[in-house]
Structure 1
Amino acid sequence: MSTRPRLIQSIPFWGLVVVSLATVAGGWFITTDKIASMTTTLTDGTATGVDVYVGQSVAQLGGILIGAGIVGILLALGIAAISTLRPQAPVEVVEPIDWDSEAETAADAPRPTEPAAADAEPAVDAEPVDAEAPVAAR
């Protein structure tokens, strides 16, 4: 029986969570930085075509990164929810050792007086059973 580690100990799960959070943070930084830069240059009247058109594309890239990070976080939450539905491994109960009782060794064990079942003769039925007869007639 193979056992899987608990979700808390799963490195790929935590990798997904960390990368998703980093993607959201990176996208948020890119988006807010570029929009702030565009706002400043547009209100000052010093905006160039590069600031306006490239800035929009970079801000859109930041939004895409935010969306991808949110999808990763939702995926991690879904995995966490599904892992709770998985049946847990049965817990084996181990009885405590009674150190006060005397241990029985192989030399002290009683020996059987009857022959083993393999050496005994097979039991023979007194009456043969008819397989086609009804059950009530047997």
Structure 2
Amino acid sequence: MIVRPSLTRSIPFWILLVASLAVTVAGAAIVATTLPAMIAGLDDQTATGGLVYGGQSWITIGSGLLAAGLVGLFVLLALAAARSFLPVVKPTADAIEADDAETGDDTVLVRTDEVVPARDEVPAAR
């Protein structure tokens, strides 16, 4: 088996997190700034065509960005939940030494056959 690094040490994990948060915040900011201006202009009956029709377009774009960012965050949450179900693999000393002899680098993936459950399992009383 190959030992995988933890999810928090994965660069794609952090890229997904940062990108999802950035897109969510950008979409929320567009909606939060455009909607009150459009509502105020319509209530005061001073709204121009550009404010009304342009505002609708900007709110549609902002809500699409907001939804895409939230989907990214849900994917991130599902990925973290799925990763928690994978077993933790404990490398053996023989596997580490064999891997060091092959590559000369101890930061590469380690092969082992010993699998340790992710959680401490308590046997059920019978």
Report the TM-score range of the alignment, normalised by the length of the smaller protein: 0.5 to 0.7
Q: How many corresponding residue pairs?
A: 94
Contact 2:3 2:91 in 1 (8 A): no
Tell me the distance in 2 between the aligned counterparts of 1:62 and 1:8: 29
Q: TM-score by structure 1 length?
A: 0.62
Q: How does 1:17-96 map to 2 (within 5 A)?
A: 17-92=17-92
Q: TM-score by structure 2 length?
A: 0.68
How far is 1:44 from its partner? 2.2
Extract structure 1 runs of 4+ deviating beyond 3 A.
Answer: 91-94
Q: Determine helix, strand or coil for the equivalent of 2:42.
A: helix
Identity among equivalent pairs (%) = 40
Tell me the distance in 1 between the aligned counterparts of 2:68 and 2:19: 10
**What is the root-mean-square deviation of aligned Cα atoms in Å?**
1.8
How far is 1:4 from its partner? 2.2
How far is 1:90 from its partner? 2.0
User: Which has more helix, going by share of residues?
Assistant: 2
Contact 2:24 2:66 in 1 (8 A): yes
Tell me the distance in 2 between the aligned counterparts of 1:36 and 1:63: 14
Could you tell me which runs of 5 or more consecutive residues in structure 2 were left unpaired when the two chains were aligned: 95-126
Q: How does 1:57-136 map to 2 (within 5 A)?
A: 57-92=57-92
Q: Give the aligned residue type for 1:87.
A: P
Higher relative contact order (CA 8 A, sep 6+): 2
Could you tell me which runs of 5 or more consecutive residues in structure 1 were left unpaired when the two chains were aligned: 95-138
